[in-house]
Amino acid sequence: MKLWEGRFEKPSAKSLEEFNDSLPFDKELWQADIKGSLAHAEMLFNCGILSEADYTLIAKGLDEIARDITSGKLTVKGAEDIHSFIENELTVRVGEAGKKLHTARSRNDQVATDFRIYVLSAYKTLGEKLQGLIRALLVKAKEGLKLIMPGYTHLRKAQPMCAGHFFNAYSEMFLRDLERLAQSKKRASVCPLGSGALAGTSYPIDRFMTAEKLGFEKPCENSLDGVSDRDFAAEYLFDCSLIMAHLSRLCEDIILYSAEEFGYFEISDEYSTGSSIMPQKKNPDIPELIRGKTGRVYGHLMGILTTVKGIPLAYNKDLQEDKEGLFDAKKQTENCVFVMAELLLNISFKEENMFKAAGGDFCCATDVADYLAKKGVPFRTAHAVTGKIVRSCIEKNMTLQDMTAGDYKKFSEYFEDDIVEKVKAENCAAARTSYGGASPERVKENIKSIKKRLKKFN
């Protein structure tokens, strides 16, 4: 039964129903819809708009519907949307009282409320998963405290660093994401219920009561905006997109560092895949898939932004297109965050390779220049002298660590015997003790601070 069929002489065309109906996907909102209806009915009763007898029947009916959907006894199908489905089902179960539930309400404020309830709970789940990911990164950062690896710029070896620094960098990104989720959630915590179709209602409703019962911070202050606003959906999708961007960067690093050419990380067999033709292959499908899904989540963000951009106030059916992308983005992002945490715990380090690479390819050249500059040579001059040393090493097929103190002294009178020690990769990393730097001591501090900031979200 349609909620609006009274005005129509003929039934809807089959093709219209197939095209128009949202039940196949908005059934995802069934719990939010029942929750919203229960709060609405209770408020109507409290405000004297619904009798106690009717309210009792409605509340009992809605509870039973929830129980039957959960147990599988009731299948959600055969209606235009989830709101119609539940209202129809209620009326079948409790009779006339069910027909009073929609008093002082429109599907426009109902769907806006349901969707917000859904998004608020999605924030909670995603936040919990992100916390798990940061905990996994902390495990790796701690393991990395003893290890040295090269840091890169332009994907060329740049400077040696304590390997924990790498994992902490990603923890910082995901901590920002966690904070962003909390801030976005707060902004989304505004209840549109009671906005009616667009202009509010003439019934003496209490919007503060429903807002509070549903766990919102407050009711929205403008009914026209209340039914039209989908900023909260766009913002959730943006938050997912940025999380995916961070995951995707981490994936790229993992893929590179586990490749033969780098050989720093080894992904366990359980988290790797093989090739149907090349027997030797061990492929990083998991991080590749997460990287791939990033595009899909961005797509959903573009989708919602484009959907809302041209529609006049207030509700238009275009807004029905706000849901499927978000449902998918939620599922994909949550999965990716969860899988990444598992993947990290299944990565081991090839310590020798990391260490060798950290000293190789003139990774310690900055430290040679700094050595001279600290002795009073202007940094630009020290840079030029070190550049000459590098060039000479390349010609002689030598590393900075192969050079003796005597070799160094030929390039500048400021070099002393200690340069040989200073130029070792572990010493270069250890020397980066500036606040936020890559020395093990600073990395340890960073781990402590990340743990402390993470605790705030529990």
Strands of 206-283 (E only): list them. 218-219, 265-267
DSSP bridge pairs for 156: 153
Tell whether residue 107 is a contact of ligand ARG (CB under 6 A): yes
> Which of 44, 162, 251, 319: binder of ligand ARG (CB under 6 A)?
319
Min. distance of Cβ 302 from ligand ARG in angstroms? Answer: 20
Q: Which is nearer to ligand ARG, 36 or 144 (CB)?
A: 36
Active site residues: 154, 275
Tell whether residue 147 is a contact of ligand ARG (CB under 6 A): no
Min. distance of Cβ 311 from ligand ARG in angstroms? Answer: 12
Nearest to 30 by CA among 133, 144, 111: 111
Tell whether residue 26 is a contact of ligand ARG (CB under 6 A): yes
Packed helices 379-396 and 365-374: angle between N→C axes, nearest 10 degrees: 140
Amino acid at 150: P
> Which of 37, 91, 108, 332: binder of ligand ARG (CB under 6 A)?
108
Q: Which is nearer to ligand ARG, 91 or 113 (CB)?
A: 113
Q: Which is nearer to ligand ARG, 26 or 370 (CB)?
A: 26
Determine contact, residues 96/51, Cβ cutoff 8 Å: no
- The angle formed by the CA atoms of residues 202, 102 and 43, to the nearest 5 degrees, is 70
Which tokens is 10 given? 């003929």
Span near ligand ARG by CB under 6 A; candidates 165-173, 267-275, 283-291, 316-324: 316-324
Tell whether residue 334 is a contact of ligand ARG (CB under 6 A): no
Which tokens is 169 given? 């960098």
Which are the contacts of 226, defined by CB distance < 8 A and separation ≥ 6?
109, 112, 190, 192, 195, 220
Tell whether residue 201 is a contact of ligand ARG (CB under 6 A): no
Q: Which is nearer to ligand ARG, 169 or 326 (CB)?
A: 326
Q: Which is nearer to ligand ARG, 22 or 412 (CB)?
A: 22
Size of the residue set binding ligand ARG (CB under 6 A): 10
Site track 56-85 with ligand ARG (rule: CB under 6 A), x = hit: -------------------------x----
| Look-up of token digits 């199908």 | 77
> Which of 167, 262, 315, 408: binder of ligand ARG (CB under 6 A)?
315
Span near ligand ARG by CB under 6 A; candidates 8-16, 104-112, 146-154, 171-179: 104-112
Tell whether residue 111 is a contact of ligand ARG (CB under 6 A): yes
Q: Which is nearer to ligand ARG, 29 or 178 (CB)?
A: 29
Q: How far apart are CA 298 and CA 174, in angstroms?
A: 18
Q: Which is nearer to ligand ARG, 110 or 131 (CB)?
A: 110
Amino acid at 397: N
Min. distance of Cβ 221 from ligand ARG in angstroms? Answer: 22
Min. distance of Cβ 77 from ligand ARG in angstroms? Answer: 15
Min. distance of Cβ 303 from ligand ARG in angstroms? Answer: 15
For the segment 379-418, give every residue that binds ligand ARG (CB under 6 A): none
Min. distance of Cβ 457 from ligand ARG in angstroms? Answer: 32
Amino acid at 333: T
Min. distance of Cβ 78 from ligand ARG in angstroms? Answer: 15
Q: How far apart are CA 105 and CA 39, in angstroms?
A: 12
Q: How far apart are CA 209 and CA 84, in angstroms?
A: 24
Span near ligand ARG by CB under 6 A; candidates 266-274, 317-325, 381-389, 441-449: 317-325
Determine contact, residues 178/127, Cβ cutoff 8 Å: yes
Determine contact, residues 218/194, Cβ cutoff 8 Å: no
Element (H, E) at 349: strand 347-349
- 415-454 in b/e burial notation, b at 16+ Cβ within 10 A? beeebbebbbbeebbbbbeeeebbbbebbbebbeebeeeb
Q: Which is nearer to ligand ARG, 19 or 435 (CB)?
A: 19
Tell whether residue 189 is a contact of ligand ARG (CB under 6 A): no
Residue 436 CA to its chain's centroid (Å): 25
Min. distance of Cβ 335 from ligand ARG in angstroms? Answer: 25
Q: Which is nearer to ligand ARG, 111 or 133 (CB)?
A: 111
| Look-up of token digits 């509070």 | 212
Backbone angles phi, psi at 310, to 5 degrees: -115, 10
Check the CA dihedral 321-327-333-336 and report its sign: negative
Q: Is 50 helix (H, G, I), strand (E, B) or coil?
A: coil
Min. distance of Cβ 83 from ligand ARG in angstroms? Answer: 6
Q: Is 401 helix (H, G, I), strand (E, B) or coil?
A: coil
Residues that bind ligand ARG (CB under 6 A): 22, 26, 81, 107-108, 111, 315, 317, 319-320
